[in-house]
Amino acid sequence: MDTNNLAHNEIDFSQFVNQLKKADKRASLLYNIVKIFYLLIMAFFLVMFVIIFKFSNNVLYESLNTILILSGLILVYIYLHYRGKDYKNADYSQTTYVMLQQTSERYKPFLTKDLLSIPGLVLMMLGTSLNSGRGFLFALVLLIVAGLVGVIIGFVWWYFKWKPIKDNADRMLREMES
């Protein structure tokens, strides 16, 4: 969203709504792409589970690892499904004030509902680290570092792509309240 002309001048509401609709459509598409990626990974681990169950000597240990990873993937998929619905089902027909409040909430960098992804991530981390040949601690540190890198990349993405939308919605809310 180009904020050069919007940040310093009066915010044109119809232009903002058009940009918001495009951003919501892109966000919904992004969540759907990530959901498809997770479905492919789940299918891969399901096939691995069947192969391990059929050919492994240590069925219990290998099955536990695969079930942990698969359950973590499923939980994260469920989180992505509901988080993506926020953007897909955005209602622009509500009153201006309510729509701006919902936009400001939807485009926050971290929401309390984001905590719902943590159990799935922990299960994936446990399953992956138990299955690592280098040891539990090494895999745990590696996954935590990868997670932090992902959060940093996500925050930078939010800062440049979605923060201007939130800032403009907040600015319009302040104008309406004063």
Condensed to tens digits (0 to 9), the pLDDT of residues 104-124 reads 999 998 888 777 777 777 777
In this predicted structure, what is the pLDDT of residue 156?
95
Residue scoring higher pLDDT (100 or 4): 100
**Predicted pLDDT of residue 11:** 65
Q: 10 Å Cβ neighbour count for 28? A: 17
- pLDDT confidence tier of residue 60, bands split at 50, 70 and 90: low
Task: State which amino acid sits at residue 160.
Answer: F
pLDDT in the model for residue 133 = 64
Sorted by sequence, the CB contacts under 8 Å of residue 12 that are 6+ apart come out as 6
CB distance 87 to 146 below 8 Å: no
Domain boundaries, the chain: 13-177
pTM of the predicted structure, to 2 decimals: 0.72
Q: Indicate if the pLDDT at residue 80 is higher than 90.
A: no
Q: What is the mean pLDDT of residues 29-50?
A: 83
Residue 96, pLDDT above cutoff 60: yes
pLDDT of 131 reads 63
CA angle 79, 83, 88 (to 5 degrees): 140
Per-residue pLDDT at 8 exceeds 60: no
For the cut 70, the answer to whether the pLDDT of residue 10 exceeds it is no
